[in-house]
Structure 1
């Protein structure tokens, strides 16, 4: 039996309750592709039933909905609303036409619980395989975002060190903890790494450096 036909097995299921693996707000708006498991699709009961019943068009409609679902909130789900589904399935205003195709095109989709959904958010549908794909795509997205964040943080600390050295604070520039504190203050204050901002950040998080006169008395 193909995964196109089965209920979600690795997610939390209790009776008719299915907790979706992504939360409300987990989106993939910038993603333009999704994997298609060709052998799973061709060997599925969904395809076999559609062909046997003379409803090959349900396969194309299902593919449109699978693709549209990745742009939904959360990714991989669909609204359980015929007017919205008619639009997503490219039926437009022909809601009656959509309703005739609904059962076949939504083969394998079922009601799902979405964590953090706002009050008043309508019921949503999900498919076990599409959920698996969406979760993997979202994991890749988060990995790329974390990679960019790490690179940006390293660049910011490097700029802070350069500004400290320019201001003759070489000892502080060589102190990893001090540099991170200064960079964190600048980042949290949503400021650019300028000489003045580094000076203010240094004085704020480390205190004003004590200047000692030649006679040993603090000034």
Structure 2
């Protein structure tokens, strides 16, 4: 997790819910498999759940919500034990949310393709 403030990595209206986007990211990329344990599962859940958020590829900076998204439910203290590792690679942006750069790249591609498809069909974007 990088503690820096920069512009969000996906547009604020980037909503991938209901879209068939195929393989947005590969869970086996990077260093996540090296930590195959609670941290791995938490990181995987966060990545998956980030695609259901608006904007896509982001999660809120709220430990109660993050614990739930990461599969810890109400076990906030247990979440806090794995938080740093589970959020490895995420960047905190100026909207107060964490974004994963790799997921954001794929989310932007899917969002732009969706918007272009709608425009080509004459549907307002």
TM-score in terms of structure 1 length: 0.49
Q: Distance in 2 between matches of 1:37 and 1:45?
A: 12
Q: How many residues align?
A: 122
Indicate the SS of the match to 1:149. coil
5+ residue gaps, structure 1: 8-15, 115-122, 151-219
Compute the displacement of 1:46 (Å). Answer: 4.0
Q: Distance in 1 between matches of 2:39 and 2:103?
A: 17
TM-score in terms of structure 2 length: 0.81
Q: Is 1:47 aligned to 2:28, yes or no?
A: no
Indicate the SS of the match to 1:78. strand
Structure with larger RCO (C-alpha < 8 A, sep 6+): 2
Compute the displacement of 1:111 (Å). Answer: 0.7
Q: Which residue of 1 aligns with 2:115?
A: 142
Q: Which residue of 2 aligns with 1:192?
A: none
- Pick the structure with more helix per residue: 1
List, as ranges, runs of 4+ consecutive aligned residues in structure 1 with deviation greater than 6 Å: none
Compute the displacement of 1:107 (Å). Answer: 0.9
Distance 1:38 1:78, change over 3 A: closer
Given candidates 109, 125, 131, the residue that maps to 2:98 is 125
Q: Distance in 2 between matches of 1:87 and 1:30?
A: 22
1:1-219 → structure 2 map (5 Å cutoff): 16-31=4-19, 33-37=22-26, 41=29, 44-48=30-34, 50=35, 56-114=37-95, 123-149=96-122
Q: Which has the larger radius of gyration?
A: 1
5+ residue gaps, structure 2: none
Q: Is the 8 A contact 1:20 1:131 kept in 2?
A: no
Deviations 1:50-101 (A, max 9, x none): 25xxxx2322221111111011121110100000111111211111111112
Indicate the SS of the match to 1:140. helix
